[in-house]
Structure 1
Amino acid sequence: MADEPVRQTEQKSPSTLKADKPSVKERRAWRISWIWLVPFVAALVGGSLLVRNWLNTGPTLSITFESAEGLEIDQTKVRYKDVVIGVVTDIDVGADRSNVIVKAQIDHDAADYIARDGTRFWVVKPRLEMSGVSGLGTLLSGPYIAVDIESDNNQNQAEKYTFTGLEKPPAVTHDRSGTRYVLHAADLGSLEIGSQVYYRQIPVGRVIDYELNKDGSSVDIQIFVDEPNDRYVTSDSRFWNASGIRVSLGASGVEVQTGTLSSIVAGGIAFTNVNPANEIPAKPETVFDLFNSELEAKAEPDGPPFRVDMIFNNSVRGLEVGAPVDFRGMELGKVYDIDLEFDTEKRRFYILVKTNIYPRRFGTAYERVKSLDPENKYPGRQLLGPMVQHGLRAQLKTSNLLTGQQYVSLDIIRDAEPVDFDPMRTPLVIPTIAGSFDRLQEQIMKIVSKIEAVPFEGIGNDLQKSLQSLNRTLNTLNTEVAPQTTEALAAAKDALERIDAMLSDDSSMNENLQGTLRELNGAARSLRNLGDYLQSHPNALITGTPPDRYPE
């Protein structure tokens, strides 16, 4: 503003230049412009955001997985009940290079219940398993890390920031209501984690875990039954393996038993209650036996078995572990082991068959023996002892001629040879005899031995001599007897022709023969009339025939 008069003065000519009167202006004080409020407000907002972010940022958790398939830094989310509570911030290979370590930043509000002992993490992604398809929703959104906490109120759990992630989703999360039970089985079969548990063919639970027991002789299977269906599991419940298809051949024909389609494909367990009057639910972690079939599960309790051994000197080909032990058509137990042993005294091998016998299957006989001595811990021994003395023996029999499978048959044999038997021996040993097939083999061998003793060579020589003699006889007949036979036949033919001529219709002999026959016929008629007359007049033989009443 002060420079404008100066420039105007310089533009004037020298003749018109005049000295301006100096003026004094007061300089105003410096003031802050409103534009400076913008960065100040921005700094204030940024600081508040930083403070808010710092306040909302939770701890960083380290989760170990076998691989980082599908996981991405700053992209993969951490979700609890499908709510995002964190994000993956780093992925690195473990120190031993056998796994990966995933760093996940958790929200501050979620850290109180996530960073606790018992929390489980797993990666949700598309999975195709025997039990079904899961994780299809991640095809578009991408995989994420799911979280399961031990309970809704886990504040008492210790804080934890390092976890080992699950490679598969858990079969049951902690927020699911229901009851856990344990099934004791000889083997796992076709079951797997996630296999369904059925009640009246309706899925009510699933298999959540399995492990070998301490001695490795069986398998403990953990199942989870959802609420409210867990009230149907009582102390009288029976469980059986409902996997696959079962085909049985009985008197009524072929019977096929199947479960649901999912149990056929992925395996399954079914249960029922043998005592409907019992409505008291079983306690959690109750242990049940897992039977192989519905028929076994619904059978009467067999009680504890006891071991019985059998010694066979012949081949046991076709006898397998699991073969039944039969007594007159009733199954008393099963074979559980077959060993080859050596007798050092007799210096020979023998087969030791170990079986489990259920004495309760003897029915009232077992109950009677038990009632005689209630304190006896081994009533089965007391029952089998007298039976062995009366001829109880074990033998192998063929159950299937096509496959050659065999089973152990117990029966009382009449006139059985007496044997040394100790009813208190442990384990109990039942004497054996040769089976029907072995006896058949022995009979065949005897027949073969007798056939071998036959002098076939001498018989063949004698037969050859007989045939030669017969040949000479036939030659003699052909050369000597045949001409004479021809002459005899010609003479016989002539005789027959003469007889035929004598019996012709126009021959005299035939006419005489017919006359004779007519006379014989008349005589026979007279005799018949005489007989009729004498029958009506028996006195005629004495008085004679009376004279005729009517004269001629």
Structure 2
Amino acid sequence: MPEVPESRAVAKKRTRLSLVWIVPIVAALAGVWVAVTRILSEGPKMTIAIHSAEGLEAGKTKVRYNGVDVGGVTAIRLTDDHEGVIVTVQMEPKTEDFLVEGTKFWVVRPRISGATVSGLGTLISGAYIGMEIGRSKEKRRDFVALSAPPVVTGDTPGRFFVLQTPNLGSLDYGTPLFFRRLQVGEVVSYELDKAGKAMTVRVFVQAPYDQYVTPNTRFWHASGIDFSLSATGVSVQTQSLLSILVGGIAFETPATGPTLSPAEPEAVFTLFDKRSDAYKPAARDPQTYRLVFRQSVRGLAPGAPVEFQGIPIGEVEEISPQFDPATAEFTVPVTIGVDPRIGVKFVDENPGEKPTDRHRLVEVLTSRGLRAQLRSGSLLTGALYVALDFFPDAPPVTIDWSQQPVEMPTVPGNLEGLEASVARILKKLDKVPIQGIGDGLNKAIAELDLTLVSARGTLNSADKVVQPDSALSEQLGSTLQELSRAARGLRGLADYLEQHPESLVRGKTGEAK
């Protein structure tokens, strides 16, 4: 028989998982699932750079949009240069579309600015971060907070415009904007230009009032009460009680001129100090002239108007005294800038004429008596202005065009003539013998006193005479009685003669007797 191989049983070791490890494994898997779920359900993170973290707290301060919490501050740290603060914010889920280019953030605290009071609720709840969602599709995770809450949100209908001014005045965030004394907008921001010579003010005009802003619109400061004293008198203007308290800006479009379409958004305008400056016509290549006065110019100041027959055509630019060696006297040269409107028509109607034709025009006018004169613009303020007018009796002069600026002839002012007249009157009054007149008046008054004493004595004597118990009164009574009896007798005689007129011829008859 063949041999059968012997079989051997091999025992296999079975790996057994102890029940002890089931709980930790399940816990680990649950933890991983929770972590993954949290990460997947967590909103985006972002950073906001702000100037100061005053009022902000990590784990407490919220980010709000339209009053709804959409995130919270998780960390606050200083910037590398220690000049600002970086705030880390954990946003809520499904807020990825909020963090785009153009989204704005700001810290909401109690704030009083101009006519605007905001953030009073934070006195109880604490500061929070407000936001406005941008309209871009480009994602962004780092932002720079605004220095102040925006006055106007992006969904408010209207347009923004830019104003340029040498100084800010009383303007601030939220300062009102007026059109015909109606508040139609406000200041939203301002900044100093790079050269440091002017301020750029950004304003918002609400719809539908933004359509009244055209390229020809004028803007000016309407802060408080505009009180001015000038050669034309006293001027007081204001927009409203609100502008008196917090200031403001007013704008208006001149009624004259072409009708223009509304200005484009972000159009740039000049912000003038007052309404009169805004409506002042722009000078076109002003011509400079020199006026020499040999009288006091007290009351004349740079900026004073220059008028030609009552029409403003320029203003005074400079006033400075000068010593004239030829006459050994001081004179007062006054430099004026004149808008050449008085010669525009002459030049325009003579095409091809040379610039000397303007000179010829001035020579023609001066030959007819055109002179410069100082005149009083207001007796209340004492302000003076320069008047260009015709004086036919003025002596002829020759203008030296080689001088720069050209010297225009002048005549003494009317105030100087008035002062001379007053001086002559005072000189005549000085010759009056006031001392002698005073002595004579004293003597006359003394004699008048004596006369009054004598008259008083006469009146006393007369009063004694007319007393009821005086002898004169008794004699007068007797005399009056005799006169009464005589009057009765005469009346009886008259009655008899009326009845017997013949008795005048015959005498009394026996019957009559």
Determine if the TM-score, normalized by the shorter chain, exceeds 0.5.
yes
SS at match of 1:89: strand
Cα pair 2:76 2:87 within 8 Å, conserved: yes
Equivalenced residue count is: 418
1:378 and 1:202 map into 2 onto residues whose CA distance is 51
1:539 corresponds to: none
Cα pair 1:200 1:272 within 8 Å, conserved: no
Match 1:134 to one of 115, 118, 121: 118
1:214 and 1:170 map into 2 onto residues whose CA distance is 23
1:269 corresponds to: 250
1:109 and 1:340 map into 2 onto residues whose CA distance is 77
Cα pair 1:57 1:105 within 8 Å, conserved: no
1:306 and 1:390 map into 2 onto residues whose CA distance is 23
SS at match of 1:197: strand
Matched, 1:406 2:384: yes
Matched, 1:58 2:44: yes
SS at match of 2:112: strand
SS at match of 1:139: helix
2:123 and 2:427 map into 1 onto residues whose CA distance is 79
2:184 corresponds to: 204
Note the alpha carbon deviations across 1:123-177, whole angstroms, 9 max, x for none. 211111222211223233221122345x411517xx56363x4332234445545
User: What amino acid does structure 2 have at the position aligned with 1:263?
Assistant: S
User: What amino acid does structure 2 have at the position aligned with 1:208?
Assistant: V
Cα pair 1:196 1:206 within 8 Å, conserved: yes
Offset, 1:376: 6.6
1:280 corresponds to: 261
Match 1:102 to one of 83, 86, 94: 86
Cα pair 2:217 2:252 within 8 Å, conserved: yes
Cα pair 1:238 1:297 within 8 Å, conserved: yes
2:149 corresponds to: 169
Cα pair 2:59 2:72 within 8 Å, conserved: yes
2:478 corresponds to: none
Offset, 1:306: 0.7
Match 1:155 to one of 122, 134, 138: 138
User: What amino acid does structure 1 have at the position aligned with 2:298?
Assistant: R
1:51 and 1:174 map into 2 onto residues whose CA distance is 38
1:78 corresponds to: 63
2:128 corresponds to: 144
Match 1:437 to one of 399, 402, 415: 415
Larger radius of gyration, structure 1 or 2?
1
2:174 corresponds to: 194
1:8 corresponds to: none
Shift in alpha-carbon separation, 1:166–1:294, aligned structure 2, 3 A: same
Cα pair 1:311 1:352 within 8 Å, conserved: yes
1:24 corresponds to: none
2:323 and 2:96 map into 1 onto residues whose CA distance is 69
Shift in alpha-carbon separation, 1:177–1:402, aligned structure 2, 3 A: closer
User: What amino acid does structure 2 have at the position aligned with 1:155?
Assistant: E
2:371 and 2:257 map into 1 onto residues whose CA distance is 42
Shift in alpha-carbon separation, 1:152–1:438, aligned structure 2, 3 A: same
Cα pair 1:234 1:273 within 8 Å, conserved: no
Shift in alpha-carbon separation, 1:203–1:276, aligned structure 2, 3 A: farther
Offset, 1:70: 1.7
Cα pair 2:74 2:90 within 8 Å, conserved: no
User: What amino acid does structure 2 have at the position aligned with 1:194?
Assistant: G
User: What amino acid does structure 1 have at the position aligned with 2:126?
Assistant: G
1:389 corresponds to: 367
Offset, 1:441: 4.0
SS at match of 2:393: coil
Cα pair 1:305 1:359 within 8 Å, conserved: yes
Note the alpha carbon deviations across 1:494-548, whole angstroms, 9 max, x for none. xxxxxxxxxxxxxxxxxxxxxxxxxxxxxxxxxxxxxxxxxxxxxxxxxxxxxxx
Cα pair 1:86 1:104 within 8 Å, conserved: no
Cα pair 1:126 1:136 within 8 Å, conserved: yes
Offset, 1:73: 2.2
Matched, 1:90 2:75: yes
1:497 corresponds to: none
User: What amino acid does structure 1 have at the position aligned with 2:47?
Assistant: L
SS at match of 1:438: helix
Matched, 1:317 2:298: yes
1:414 and 1:296 map into 2 onto residues whose CA distance is 35
Match 1:260 to one of 240, 244, 266: 240
Cα pair 2:43 2:95 within 8 Å, conserved: no
Return the TM-score normalized by structure 2.
0.65
SS at match of 1:208: strand
Cα pair 1:126 1:139 within 8 Å, conserved: yes
Pick 1 or 2: higher relative contact order, CA cutoff 8 A, min separation 6. 2
Note the alpha carbon deviations across 1:227-265, whole angstroms, 9 max, x for none. 443223223434344433457999xx9986542332332
Shift in alpha-carbon separation, 1:234–1:73, aligned structure 2, 3 A: same
User: What amino acid does structure 1 have at the position aligned with 2:245?
Assistant: V
Identity of aligned residues (%): 38
2:206 corresponds to: 226
1:407 and 1:395 map into 2 onto residues whose CA distance is 8
SS at match of 1:319: coil
Match 2:108 to one of 114, 117, 124: 124
Richer in helix (by share): 1
Cα pair 2:367 2:396 within 8 Å, conserved: yes
Note the alpha carbon deviations across 1:45-70, whole angstroms, 9 max, x for none. 543443344342534415131x3322
Shift in alpha-carbon separation, 1:407–1:216, aligned structure 2, 3 A: farther
Matches within 5 A, 1:263-412: 263-266=243-246, 267-272=248-253, 274=255, 278=259, 280-291=261-272, 304=284, 306-309=286-289, 310-339=291-320, 350-360=331-341, 362=342, 366-373=344-351, 383-412=361-390
Shift in alpha-carbon separation, 1:206–1:189, aligned structure 2, 3 A: same
1:249 and 1:235 map into 2 onto residues whose CA distance is 31
SS at match of 1:169: coil
SS at match of 1:50: helix
Note the alpha carbon deviations across 1:357-380, whole angstroms, 9 max, x for none. 3344x5xx7434432347777987
2:215 corresponds to: 235
Shift in alpha-carbon separation, 1:451–1:265, aligned structure 2, 3 A: closer
Cα pair 2:100 2:136 within 8 Å, conserved: no
Shift in alpha-carbon separation, 1:207–1:220, aligned structure 2, 3 A: same
Shift in alpha-carbon separation, 1:325–1:213, aligned structure 2, 3 A: farther
1:78 and 1:170 map into 2 onto residues whose CA distance is 16
SS at match of 1:274: coil
1:522 corresponds to: none
Offset, 1:75: 1.5
1:305 and 1:219 map into 2 onto residues whose CA distance is 26
RMSD over aligned Cα, in angstroms? 4.6
SS at match of 1:372: coil
2:352 and 2:196 map into 1 onto residues whose CA distance is 35
SS at match of 1:397: strand
